[in-house]
Structure 1
Amino acid sequence: MYRLKHLSMWQKNLIVLWFGVFMTGIGMSEIMPFLSLYIDELGTFTQSQLSLYSSLVFSAAFLVMAIVSPFWGRLADKKGRKLMLLRSALGMAIVFFSMGFVTNVWQLLLLRALQGAFGGFTSNSNALIAVQAPREKSGQALSILVTGATAGTLLGPLIGGTLASIFGYRLSFHITGIIMFLVFLLTLFLVKEDVVTKKAEEAVVISQPKLSLKLVLHQKIILALFITTLSVQLVNMAINPILSLYVKELLNGHQSVTFIAGIVAAMPGISTMIAAPLFGRLGDRIGTNKVLIFGFALAAVTFLLTSFTQSITQLMILRFFTGISDAALFPSIQSLLTKNTKKENTSLIFSYNQSFQSIGSVIGPLIGAFIANLFDYPAIFVFCSLLMVLNFIALAKQKN
């Protein structure tokens, strides 16, 4: 209690926002284990219709988020980041709670789209901490937020499946909505924003021309970092459509596919949670660029080795190392965005970065499924390795 009282404003904010991004991660991913089953209760569908509607409902949130994030980011830079955090938390609380009342698939699709529209809690949390934390602590602070989002995304399917099995699909949405309302209250009463800094930023924003996407993309290093975010998220999501099938092929019918696939899927998240704060501190000490280079190298080697996997044990170990590369890459990207962005544009830049990440979440599974159908499962990992190498070369050219 004594230590908590003597924490600085940004450190107290970090604790509250960690819980907020954790719950946001859960909300975005908890629907995965029972999405098709829930949709199947909303009507009479063929197998192909069920697959189509499940894909549309799942992708809707990410597609809309990619479109609207810059709008919320620009508003955050003008009106304050705390206001955007409150808007996002309350909006998602209402949307999640309402999902438990839907009577057809189109209502669910609309609510998932609204979920994406009310998004931005994670990007604005990153922006607020990036602005408030001392420069020498920014990498560590942003890394801690990454662990929150990762932990939520990792545990979301497990928590969602558990809630659905105990309380049913509809009540699980109500529970998530209530927890997001708690995030809203915690943000309202505990998160503080420096009014002096905010007013100074508002004055600069008013006196400058509006920062548009065209102007942003003229900053080549910023564009290169956006593309890096998209690429890293793309390779993370590319395996999702075929993970269970790949596990089944490696097991050859000897063990429970569902249980083992769940463990394999959890490996990157577990290692990211462990390694991200360590890489954040290391980046603040030796330089973010060095950590970024290590992340690219580890990702490229790990994906290439994964293409030669012959057993589940090998796959688990290599997926664990994939999470370590994520822990090096994501916080480093955010730290470099912070260092190359004026404070008054921080929320907008982080929102554009969120848009690119959402695009990666949408096209990653599509590319993974396409490559798997055209070639075979190992080809996905070869593609991911090659993409990491090409991305590193492109980013290195922009920084030189």
Structure 2
Amino acid sequence: MSESVTPSYDPNWRRNLKVLWFGCFMVGMGFSIIVPFMSLYIDTLGDFSQSELSFWSGITISSTFLVMALVSPIWGKLADTKGRRLMLLRASLGMSIIIALMGVVTNVQQLIILRLLQGVFSGYVSNANALIATTVPKEKSGQALGTMTTGVVSGTLLGPLFGGVVAQAFSYRVTFFITGTLLFLVFLLTVFLVKENFRPVQEGQKVLNIRQIFQNLPYPKLIIGLFVTTLIIQASNNSVNPILSLYVRQLLGNDGTVAIVSGIVAALPGVATLFAAPFFGRLGDKIGTQKILIGGIAFALILYIPQAFVHNVWQLGILRLLVGISDAAMLPQVQTLLAKNSPHEVSGRIFSYNQSFQGMGNVAGPLIGSFVSSSFGYPGVFLSTSLLVLINLIWVTINTRELRRDQKQ
């Protein structure tokens, strides 16, 4: 099997892991930090009705992930020919500039354009995973990839808390400037501390195409199914993003603390995930990762329905905290299954394909939430999300059947 990057076990791989974990954490925060107040920020850029605000919020949030879904395979292939470290530098520097510029926009159209450009500069996480997978000792690869997963997941889920606190203490615009500065720090750390022994494709060799990659996978249908599962998980998680702060504002009765309370409510899943993910990871190694994934989706189904009928923000907060436990049993488990069932030689492109499906889910989720909230109100978003989770539960149960059968033999 030919591949542009031959695994080389750098003795400094632990430093790479630490720096890239921090980078993934900050990139996760950079994508999610404005979630608690995106709708509120857009509300300051014009005079919108509730339906117009929901519409523009959905478009703005989704635009980044639409572009990400389209360009991720391109960056993944380019990384195989130019090196993963170069792609890390491109993504971190580009995002730091683009996100900082979001703090100076004067209308929603300018904000959407910058969100589209943010998607162009995606690829940090997938390339970080690929670099780690091809530079750590083979016996440490699973542990290292699991650690990387906790970085981006915790950053994505804790970002709203940081964003809400900063927005409440200073302003919405200052949050963008701080985020851009932190991502520029990631760029500098990557420049000076991340090392890669990149080996380009030698003459006479060629990079495997998509068909060849999947022909060499032990469970190609499982991998494709996990891509779809990622899409549905992300769509489910992000369907509430356009309306979460508005829902909190409705429950609070337009209380002045809506920004920070929205941030806390949005961050609660992240807090639970941080504590629950290591436990589920160890349990998955004992009883089967796919069983943890199925259980997590079933638990999420139970949690989304009552969120439509809460009467105060505390009830919503408790349910969102429990959602974090279900997230810990879903998002990291998908990454683990991809790592366990994909040869390391093609892990870069496998992760980039998965990021494309993640981007598609991030696009679909907010659009679904915006459409449903405009037609059926905020509670309808949680009910429609429950339907998505049910579909995912059925899909994963069927898709992992072959793997479960082989493990019993």
Of stretches 106-115 and 355-364 in structure 1, the one that deviates more from structure 2 is: 106-115
Match in the other structure for 2:293: 295
Match in the other structure for 1:46: 48
Sort the Cα spacing of 1:100 and 1:211 in 2 relative to 1 into closer, same or farther, 3 A.
Answer: same
State how far apart, in whole Å, the 1-side matches of 2:211 and 2:326 are. 29
Sort the Cα spacing of 1:278 and 1:95 in 2 relative to 1 into closer, same or farther, 3 A.
Answer: same
State how far apart, in whole Å, the 1-side matches of 2:335 and 2:292 are. 16
Report SS of the residue matched to 1:133: coil
Match in the other structure for 1:237: 238
Sort the Cα spacing of 1:177 and 1:248 in 2 relative to 1 into closer, same or farther, 3 A.
Answer: closer
| AA at the equivalent of 1:364 | G
Match in the other structure for 2:6: none
Report SS of the residue matched to 2:201: helix
Structure 1 residue 387 displacement after superposition: 2.0
State how far apart, in whole Å, the 2-side matches of 1:73 and 1:122 are. 11
State how far apart, in whole Å, the 2-side matches of 1:331 and 1:282 are. 12
State how far apart, in whole Å, the 2-side matches of 1:325 and 1:37 are. 28
Structure 1 residue 376 displacement after superposition: 4.2
Tell me if structure 2 keeps the 8 A contact 1:65–1:358.
yes
Match in the other structure for 1:269: 270
Structure 1 residue 353 displacement after superposition: 0.5
Structure 1 residue 78 displacement after superposition: 1.9
Match in the other structure for 1:115: 118
Of stretches 108-117 and 125-134 in structure 1, the one that deviates more from structure 2 is: 125-134
- Does residue 23 (structure 1) correspond to residue 26 (structure 2)? The answer is yes
Sort the Cα spacing of 1:336 and 1:248 in 2 relative to 1 into closer, same or farther, 3 A.
Answer: same
- Does residue 146 (structure 1) correspond to residue 149 (structure 2)? The answer is yes
Structure 1 residue 324 displacement after superposition: 2.5
What is the root-mean-square deviation of aligned Cα atoms in Å?
Answer: 3.5
The 5 Å alignment of 1:324-363 reads 324-363=325-364
State how far apart, in whole Å, the 2-side matches of 1:26 and 1:392 are. 28
Tell me if structure 2 keeps the 8 A contact 1:139–1:331.
no
State how far apart, in whole Å, the 1-side matches of 2:257 and 2:299 are. 27
Q: Find the partner of 2:391 among 382, 387, 390.
A: 387
Per-residue displacement from partner, 1:331-381 (whole Å, max 9, x unpaired)? 232233233334343222211111111111121233345566569466335
Tell me if structure 1 keeps the 8 A contact 2:58–2:370.
no
Of stretches 274-283 and 357-366 in structure 1, the one that deviates more from structure 2 is: 274-283
The 5 Å alignment of 1:1-400 reads 9-42=12-45, 44-47=46-49, 48-193=51-196, 195=197, 198-199=198-199, 202-203=201-202, 207-208=205-206, 210-212=208-210, 216=214, 219-243=220-244, 258=258, 262-283=263-284, 285-286=285-286, 290-304=288-302, 306-308=304-306, 316-368=317-369, 373=375, 376=380, 379-380=383-384, 382-397=386-401, 399=403
Tell me if structure 1 keeps the 8 A contact 2:163–2:263.
no
Match in the other structure for 1:4: none
Of stretches 81-90 and 357-366 in structure 1, the one that deviates more from structure 2 is: 357-366
State how far apart, in whole Å, the 1-side matches of 2:229 and 2:139 are. 23
Structure 1 residue 96 displacement after superposition: 2.0
Structure 1 residue 105 displacement after superposition: 3.4
Per-residue displacement from partner, 1:266-309 (whole Å, max 9, x unpaired)? 232111112223433454x437xx12312312321342255257
State how far apart, in whole Å, the 1-side matches of 2:142 and 2:191 are. 26
Structure number with higher helix proportion: 1
Q: Count residues in correspondence.
A: 384
Q: Between the two proteins, what is the percent identity of the paired residues?
A: 49
Structure 1 residue 91 displacement after superposition: 1.0
Tell me if structure 2 keeps the 8 A contact 1:61–1:113.
yes
Q: TM-score, normalised by structure 2?
A: 0.80
Per-residue displacement from partner, 1:233-281 (whole Å, max 9, x unpaired)? 12222333454676689x797x999466554432321111122234334
* Structure 1 unmatched runs, 5+: 1-6
Match in the other structure for 2:7: none
Structure 1 residue 393 displacement after superposition: 2.3
State how far apart, in whole Å, the 2-side matches of 1:325 and 1:139 are. 22
Tell me if structure 2 keeps the 8 A contact 1:276–1:327.
yes
Structure 1 residue 190 displacement after superposition: 0.9
State how far apart, in whole Å, the 2-side matches of 1:246 and 1:292 are. 34
| AA at the equivalent of 1:272 | T
Tell me if structure 2 keeps the 8 A contact 1:74–1:345.
no
